[in-house]
Structure 1
């Protein structure tokens, strides 16, 4: 069984024609619109760039491009809406990566028999 993680990648082009690959962190529908949270993607060859990356999260809105007939990801022009959507995504992302009361060894239960070394009450 292959447990290898395969990220959802999108190559996006900015208003200056510069292309960059992004990894999808999350997407959600809010008030009838679809929004995406993405972060720059670096493959193993770009390890140095990954270390310099600030952990940027880009929030984009789904729009229909009438010229091509396809969905595109576009900037959110309304600053208040951008902030609101950004805050919702940050809460969702923090919850996704939140660790319960997990110890360094990965054990959730201090009274277990997983071999983690925690004392089991007798």
Structure 2
């Protein structure tokens, strides 16, 4: 996924397209992650997705199911944005 992507459209479990604003993209331990927030929702929590490759070497976004992996990315995200707040 390109670093300059600011918006993505995902299809939810009901087949409905939803737009998300990309907050940031991070590389952690040789894996790529993207943090997004729903475009239409106010005060919505950020969602962490891992960028994997499918059989055709295309980017696919996958929910982070592993608690340890989720916590690692959450901590990196919080650290990144707490550093931005102090500048």
TM-score using structure 2 length: 0.79
What are the residue-to-residue correspondences of 1:29-48 with 2, within 5 Å? 29-42=27-40
2:22 paired with 1:24 = yes
Contact 1:25/1:93, CA 8 A, preserved across alignment: no
Aligned residue number for residue 75 of structure 2: 87
1:48-83: CA deviations, max 9, x gaps? Answer: xx4xx22310000011111x5410111112111111
Question: How many residues are paired up?
Answer: 83
Hey, what's the Cα distance between the residues in 1 that align with 2:16 and 2:24? 23
Matches within 5 A, 1:1-122: 8-42=6-40, 50=41, 53-66=42-55, 68-96=56-84, 98=85, 100=87
**Computing the radius of gyration over CA atoms, which structure comes out larger, 1 or 2?**
1
Distance 2:38 2:83 in 1: 20
Q: Which runs of 5+ in 1 are unaligned?
A: 1-6, 43-49, 101-122
If asked which structure has higher relative contact order (CA below 8 Å, sep 6+), I would say 2
Could you list the runs of 5+ residues in structure 2 that have no partner in the other structure?
Answer: none
Q: Give the CA RMSD over aligned residues.
A: 2.0
Task: From the two aligned structures, give the one with the greater strand fraction.
Answer: 2
